[in-house]
Amino acid sequence: MWLKKCAAVLVCLMSLAPAVYAAQNQKQAGAADAEKAENDRSPRVPTFALNGDLAGELQVFTTRYEDTFAAIGHDEALGYLELVKANPGVDPWLPGDGTTITLPRMYVLPEARREGIVINLAEYRLYYYTDGGVQVYPVGIGREENPSPLTDAEVTMPLESPAWYPPSSIRASYEARGEYLPRMIPPGPDNPLGTHALMLSEKGYLIHGTNKRFGIGLPVSAGCFRMYNEDISRFVYQVQKGTSVQIIREPVKLGLSGGEVWLEVHRPHEDYSPEDREQLWQATLAKLKAFREQHPDVEVQRQSIELVVDQADGIPTMIGERLTRMASDQGQKESNPEESAEPEQKLYF
């Protein structure tokens, strides 16, 4: 009887062996995948080739019932406000199942040196120029009472698992609310600097991660620049010490691509007040005037310009193009030097 029971147990164990081995292999594979993901330093965002003053392309995304713009932004490396502006009429907290939304990954490049890092506060975006083109990341910036600086700085040091030493102004604000803030917050889940950071030559300012998933692509910080941990943890290994960091505020961007004139306008908030609209309209007119002086051979259309300013959704729109000359006209102008001047820009107002 004892031998029969031992044989039965042995048969049972043998029958379970494949399942046990499969579970062990699956666990080991999962651990290997997790380790690979943790050590993956390739950027989450695409590197777009430059096409004149334009880069990238618009993409679409089909939502599931449980999706929110905050979650989509986190997963797709996009900012909350840029998703809201690009998808008017869609509820950002309950877009619904099967809703097609626009992922705004097309850009008129900011008016700055195309090297290193360029942060445009007006669009809550960081541009990183590489040999292959440009990468674009969403960033959280300073609140109105603690604005981020407009400066031309450089990266001085990358930091892994940074500790946070709150400045006296922030500690004072906590004390005013009756809250205690230590002089040093060690690395970990409670550290507002997240997992990694880049120290800047502009004293007291960093590009860093965060311990809060919501707030990237919004004015939420005390002046520093927040990135998703999934982005900054890879980004710090791309950026070299001494990399230039230009911080600008350019809500209206205008550029040429393949003879086409493109305009991109950003409203500062989710709501669009008449005051903001008027300011953006005046900024657009000033930009067009400067553009006219630099490119006298283009024509643009007022109706297209008005539509872009009226929406201020941060999506590039073609508003005109370069004038083309017929071969016969070229021949006449070459034979008559007095008539060889560039044609004036035509602005259909």
Q: How confident is the model at residue 344 (pLDDT cuts 50, 70, 90)?
A: very low
Please state, in angstroms and rounded to a whole number, the distance separating the CA atoms of residues 313 and 327. Answer: 40
pLDDT in tens, 19-50: 545 556 655 555 444 455 567 789 999 999 99
Centroid of chain to Cα 217: 7
pLDDT at 300 over 60: yes
- pLDDT given at position 69: 96
* Between 102 and 189, residue with greater pLDDT: 102
Mean pLDDT in residue range 217-223: 92
pLDDT at 327 over 70: no
- pLDDT given at position 328: 41
CATH top-level class for 50-57+105-248? mainly beta
- pLDDT given at position 283: 97
Please state, in angstroms and rounded to a whole number, the distance separating the CA atoms of residues 80 and 92. Answer: 9
- pLDDT given at position 133: 97
Global pTM reads 0.82
pLDDT at 160 over 60: yes
Mean pLDDT in residue range 297-315: 95
Centroid of chain to Cα 315: 13
pLDDT at 212 over 90: no
Catalytic residue selected from 224, 266, 269, 295: 224
Please state, in angstroms and rounded to a whole number, the distance separating the CA atoms of residues 110 and 251. Answer: 9
Confirm whether 6 is a catalytic residue.
no
Angle, in degrees to the nearest 10, between helices 302-311 and 274-294: 140
- Percent of the chain past pLDDT 90, that is, above it, reads 68
Which residues fall within 8 angstroms of residue 176, CB to CB, at 6 or more apart?
none
- pLDDT given at position 28: 58
Beta strands in the chain (DSSP E): 50-51, 54-56, 59-62, 100-103, 106-108, 117-120, 125-130, 133-138, 141-142, 151-160, 196-200, 206-208, 219-221, 225-226, 244-248, 252-257, 260-265, 298-301, 317-322, 346-348
Q: How confident is the model at residue 213 (pLDDT cuts 50, 70, 90)?
A: confident
pLDDT at 237 over 90: yes
- pLDDT given at position 164: 83
Q: How confident is the model at residue 176 (pLDDT cuts 50, 70, 90)?
A: confident
Domain spans in the chain, listed from the N-terminal domain onward:
50-57+105-248, 252-348
Confirm whether 208 is a catalytic residue.
yes
pLDDT in tens, 124-155: 999 999 998 999 999 999 999 889 999 999 99
Mean pLDDT in residue range 246-258: 97
Catalytic residue selected from 208, 266, 269, 295: 208
**Closest to 312 measured CA to CA, from 347, 257, 273:** 273
CA angle 314, 316, 321 (to 5 degrees): 150
